[in-house]
Structure 1
Amino acid sequence: MENTEKFTNNKQIIHFITEKFPLCFTAGSTLAKPLKIGIFQELVACLEDESRVSKTQLRGALRQYTLSWRYLHCVKEGTKRVNLEGIEGDDVSAEHAQHALKTLKESKDKVFANKKKNNESVKRTPKIPRRKTTPVKKEVVVVEDISNYKQATHSQLSVQQPVKVLLGKVPVAGVVIEVMKDEIQVQLNSGMVVKVKAKHLIVE
């Protein structure tokens, strides 16, 4: 009996299209291939009768796939683009290669900057000497102006979108890495990944 259970996240969809179109999409240590311009329309047409994934889910998964470092590394000028059958077509243009390089650099800079910031924060944190008696914990609350932000709705969120996560009393900055059916997966600037409802996110 054919499995008709709907996919719930981008990871499942990317795994599905990688297995269905192995000459086009790759995974793991296999080098990625630049995709043909208009590959989304081809996917939609080929998966028209596939009830487990919607057009919106497919677009989100394809966006995550093409924003991965592994994929951006392969988009180089003169490299042949491929269709779903793996047949080579047009070359990657200089403009698209430059855009991919810029996107890759910005993504890496952001991750490394966050790691450096967190490492420096840890180094600057003074060590509190241990006391025999239990010290009274003093809670320091940093008040942030969030008047320019509004509560997010599930439909307006997309991958790589900057958001603030309402954790406790202080909103924490992060970026959306996956939009699922009922939850949003967010990577905080600290590197931690959390799953929350859209109502717990605010956007500008």
Structure 2
Amino acid sequence: MESTEKFTTSKEVIAFLAETFPKCFSTEGEALPLKIGIFQDLAQRLDDDERVSKTLLRSTLRHYTNSWRYLYSIKEGAHRVDLDGVEGDAIEKEHSDHAQKQLEESKAKAAEKRKAKMAQQPKRSEKRQFNRPKGEKPANSAQPESKRGTKPKNNRPTTTPPAKLTDGDMKQGTRVTVKLGKEPMPAVITEIAKDGIHVQLDTGMVVKVKADALRLARSKRS
């Protein structure tokens, strides 16, 4: 049982016409020139077929006859065919010239589209630059290498390391620095005990540390 679902695209209609009228329409290979007035013949033959609307049939014929494959077939002296493949009138020079002009214009438009598409793509040199391996520097960014075995000079002034506390410094009120983290913190001794030395940080917090963790503040060594 044939499907009654309506066709929705020209591609579907062309395939249907090629199957129904194989001596007139085709989907590949060399096309045949169609009889002038072929639309009226199709409308009559397909009048009872609900799958093809006349609007879609007309647009499909326009699409078919504007294709390069069909325009190639319009040559002077070639005979047009009807739905059953019966040859009719010969193609006149005027019609042949018009078809060739239409073919050239269509090819020119296609070439312009390809050219515009190529222009939008990045150039090869730009692609190579974008795809440079990670960590690789451009050729013009090279810097002179330093001499082997030499180290960059350090112009920072040398500083004397903090001095350890003497027995005379172990008393309340001595300004010291205590290393509790990465950096030494200023503090003052508040109590000397057997189990450690109590110091008060500038923040107000009191901590108990060993003598080895203390250094004399610079102001006391001037």
Q: Which TM-score tier does this pair reach, normalised by the shorter chain?
A: 0.5 to 0.7
Q: What per-residue deviation string (whole Å, max 9, x for no partner) do you get for residues 52-97 of structure 1?
A: 0110010011111111110000001110000001000001111111
Aligned partner letter, 1:82: V
Q: What per-residue deviation string (whole Å, max 9, x for no partner) do you get for residues 136-186 of structure 1?
A: xxxxxxxxxxxxxxxxxxxxxxxxxxxxxxxxxxxxxxxxxxxxxxxxxxx
> Hey, what does 2:11 align to over in structure 1?
11
**Aligned-pair distance for 1:121?**
3.6
1:52 aligns with 2:51: yes
Larger RCO (CA under 8 A, 6+ residues apart): 1
Distance in 2, matches of 1:9 and 1:117, equals 28
Q: What per-residue deviation string (whole Å, max 9, x for no partner) do you get for residues 82-122 of structure 1?
A: 00010000011111111110111111111112212322342
**Aligned-pair distance for 1:46?**
0.5
Alignment RMSD? 1.9
Distance in 2, matches of 1:17 and 1:94, equals 28
Distance in 1, matches of 2:91 and 2:122, equals 44
- Describe the SS at the equivalent of 1:110: helix
**Aligned-pair distance for 1:26?**
1.5
- Describe the SS at the equivalent of 1:90: strand
**Aligned-pair distance for 1:49?**
0.3
> Hey, what does 1:111 align to over in structure 2?
110
Distance in 2, matches of 1:4 and 1:118, equals 41
Distance in 1, matches of 2:122 and 2:93, equals 43
1:81 aligns with 2:80: yes
Aligned partner letter, 1:58: L
Structure showing greater radius of gyration is 2
Aligned partner letter, 2:22: P
Aligned partner letter, 2:55: T
> Hey, what does 2:98 align to over in structure 1?
99
- Describe the SS at the equivalent of 2:89: strand
What are the residue-to-residue correspondences of 1:152-171 with 2, within 5 Å? Answer: none
Aligned partner letter, 1:19: E
Distance in 1, matches of 2:46 and 2:83, equals 12
What are the residue-to-residue correspondences of 1:112-127 with 2, within 5 Å? Answer: 112-122=111-121, 124=123, 126-127=126-127
- Identical aligned pairs, as a percentage? 51
Distance in 1, matches of 2:34 and 2:27, equals 14
- Describe the SS at the equivalent of 1:42: helix
Unaligned 5+ residue runs, structure 1? Answer: 133-204
Distance in 2, matches of 1:55 and 1:118, equals 36
**Aligned-pair distance for 1:124?**
4.7
Aligned partner letter, 2:50: S
Distance in 2, matches of 1:78 and 1:41, equals 24
Ranges of 4+ aligned residues in structure 1 off by more than 6 Å: none
- Describe the SS at the equivalent of 2:121: helix
Q: TM-score, normalised by structure 1?
A: 0.60
Distance in 1, matches of 2:22 and 2:102, equals 25
